[in-house]
Amino acid sequence: MRPTEENDIPTATGKSSSEHRQDALTLGPRKKARTTDPLVHHGRHFGRSIHALCNLHALINNGIIRLGERADDPEEEEQREHKVFCALLKSVPGLEERLMGASSEEDVQSIAAMLQKGASSARSDDTKSLKSAIIDWITPLGEPLMPPISWNSKSGRGFNHEVTGALLCPAGLDWNDVEIKEKLRAGELLVPGDQWPIFLFSSYTYDDNDPAKGLLRSSLLVKTFKHIFTSPSSVEREAKATRSGNARIHGMTGVTRGSIAYAATQARFALCSSSIFNRNDTITDSERFYDSILEYLEDPDEADDVNHLLAWWNRQVFPNYVPNSRPVSKNSALAKIKAKRAAAKQAALGNIDTNTS
């Protein structure tokens, strides 16, 4: 038996610490790979594309109750919440069966926790990667930003910097007005989340007589969306079908209302001076901003404009996107066949009317 050395400390297994010590220059035993619950994977996409800032524990609990009650006339807010819950069920294969088959409240909470973990980690990853990427996008080609903005620090952003301040300036206010600029920088003018910044508009131009003109069509917003969904390398060039970005991994072939609101929220936060993404931050007011964008995109009264907006987005981001229906070309063979068939039906109806009279 080997004599006990002075530095040998017995362990729980009865072996000394020197016997447990491994040689740093050898590979050592192979460790088992850690597996992640698929719910985390689905939670990441749910947060990015459907709803980023909801309480998944409450959403699932309330959703299960409604499935059981089958309420006939829920309140408007309950209807909206239930739509999100149904979208969650649709986006996660087998989730409804898993929830209905849960044997305890703890099982349901565990499912919600995994989904929440995925949504939160995706938001954190995107926030971190966009912090530096957005500086490249707002830097003039061939020129440095003056003064420079650190890739890793947020303190020089927001209304503290001329460029980010101009982009974050609320639509309808003039950033070039010295008094307004100073009040924004001093915090005398608080900007609520539903007062949208100019960077959301095409060419960073707001028309007070037509406030929806160019809304959510800015180049900066498109770059943010591509960075998150189709891969960072697709920002400066057309995305290829073979690239395994988040959209491709999750089978996403078209934009969603939630994904546009999410990209807008992430871009706004990347430009601002706040260092921590907090949904309850009353200064950044990110939750109110996100909800206000989503409310506009889901408003039935704005359906026509929003449908055109979604079509525009799909052309920008998904080059292979095919809408559910396309208009028939006027001079095509199909158009002429349809016209001939319509004329024949009209003539037949005319004959029936003549005979009955």
pLDDT tens-digit readout, 278-334: 766 667 899 999 999 999 999 999 999 999 999 999 999 987 766 654 555 566 777
105: confidence class by pLDDT, cuts 50, 70, 90: very high
Last residue of a domain, one of 51, 85, 116: 116
For residue 86, give its domain range: 38-116
* Distance in Å from the first CA to the final CA of the chain: 118
pLDDT at 3: 43
Does 197 lie in the same domain as 72?
A: no
Does 130 lie in the same domain as 105?
A: no
Percent of the chain topping pLDDT 70? 79
Q: Is residue 274 part of a domain?
A: yes
Does 124 lie in the same domain as 103?
A: no
Does 220 lie in the same domain as 73?
A: no
Radius of gyration of the chain from Cα atoms? 28
Whether 106 and 189 have beta carbons less than 8 Å apart is answered as no
Spatial distance between the Cα atoms of 223 and 233, rounded to a whole number of angstroms: 10
Residue type at position 271: L
The strand pairing partners of 170, in sequence order, are 197
Give residues with Cβ within 8 angstroms of 248, minimum separation 6: 230, 241
84: confidence class by pLDDT, cuts 50, 70, 90: very high
Q: Is residue 20 part of a domain?
A: no
Q: Is the confidence at residue 53, as pLDDT, over 80?
A: yes
Does 240 lie in the same domain as 144?
A: yes
Last residue of a domain, one of 70, 87, 116: 116
The whole-chain average pLDDT of the chain stands at: 84
Write the pLDDT tens digit of every residue in 56-72.
999 999 999 887 765 55
Write the pLDDT tens digit of every residue in 213-250.
999 999 999 999 999 998 888 887 654 544 468 888 88
Does 241 lie in the same domain as 171?
A: yes
Supply φ then ψ for residue 98, to 5 degrees.
-70, -40
| Mean pLDDT for the stretch of residues 239-266 | 83
Per-residue tokens: 282: 């009353």
pLDDT at 350: 65
Q: Is residue 233 part of a domain?
A: yes
Does 135 lie in the same domain as 107?
A: no
Spatial distance between the Cα atoms of 150 and 338, rounded to a whole number of angstroms: 61
Does 112 lie in the same domain as 124?
A: no
Q: Is residue 255 part of a domain?
A: yes
Last residue of a domain, one of 116, 135, 154: 116
Q: Is residue 344 part of a domain?
A: no
The structural domain count of the chain equals 2
Spatial distance between the Cα atoms of 335 and 45, rounded to a whole number of angstroms: 41
Q: Is residue 156 part of a domain?
A: yes
Percent of the chain topping pLDDT 90? 60
The angle that helices 219-229 and 303-317 make with each other, rounded to 10 degrees, is: 60
